[in-house]
Chain A
């Protein structure tokens, strides 16, 4: 059976430190923002939002929500809209991949993405002198004028496959393929693995009673789930739930 990679993020563990964002940028050769860049024009494949329960002090509670490409499985919005097949779902892994060399830069995929998880290269990628030494040789930098997004550190998957092939194995060792954000999280809030493997931790956690997915009623079947034992955090999943939660809190 082909793999179906997914992720589970425990929001009760996330402290919003941003380590995952930095590790992601370094791993995937995301260039430093040029002068004039804002949080709306910069590239952050993984972005940490802050949410609160809307209550005043001392009932205020916060949660940090790391959001990246949710690797939608059904009616994948970015795949179906791309006019030149620059976005594809890999049937062997379920990973939604971007082909920057084929991208026209029309940004239709960005408009279609419900998670605002796609980014555009508004500038030429530039690394200050000396910083180019930090470039990851396994990942190609993208040029100006194309869209990009999280691909579950596809470069690491290639490396794991090469290692498996060199050892004469057909399948990779799951321990060899861990995305940078998972590896860097100090609270181990992010779990990654094959959702098709019922014994995997990610598969078990995705079925946990605390598990939920954002905007799941859109029907795009995201492969990234979240965990929280707090009802108001789970109600952030969509606006109908959020409204019901608010009404319930008001009595």
Chain B
């Protein structure tokens, strides 16, 4: 089995996977606590328009997809806060509209676009050296931001009115979380695909909730499981010769089922 680590594409996939696991697992705790798991799904799907524009222009898709997802995240925030449209409605409308734009734009691309499939369903073979550097660099910044703003992010997530009365400008931390979500999700789509990426936000947190006794342990357990789900998912996909994205997600779901059974048994 160790020979798989000799391949450059596997090394890239595993390093990128561990980075994505850390940020998605951590972020998932905030999004699931805010009952905003759907935001992950929405931003991932919305980024298709960015990918489509980049493919048509012959540019690198990831940077444009990030910009597009950040733009959509900010629009979702504004619509949610400044209108009577609820968060799930705003996400639902904007992500489907963005996807529709992406699908229409891709009509104008002549010939088969193999890279597009890797954005939809994930393909570790398509992770380039540039992608890897971008993912590592972004993960370091994201972790840094999550660490230095930890208390305020937890406060605004768990008790927005209390945070406001404590003197925190809650909107700043809401926007920060939305932007971090957009960047993290887009960086992970080559690994698991934009259709499946939200599972890596939800599943580790669901496992974390099964065993955590405090918020700190919730964060730690979710992040550790997210890293392991991605790592062992990639290894399994190599051994079984299955698509990486689907294997990672199914492995995570299996761990959740096992965790639920263990939890019931312990009780």
Q: Answer whether A and B are interacting partners.
A: no
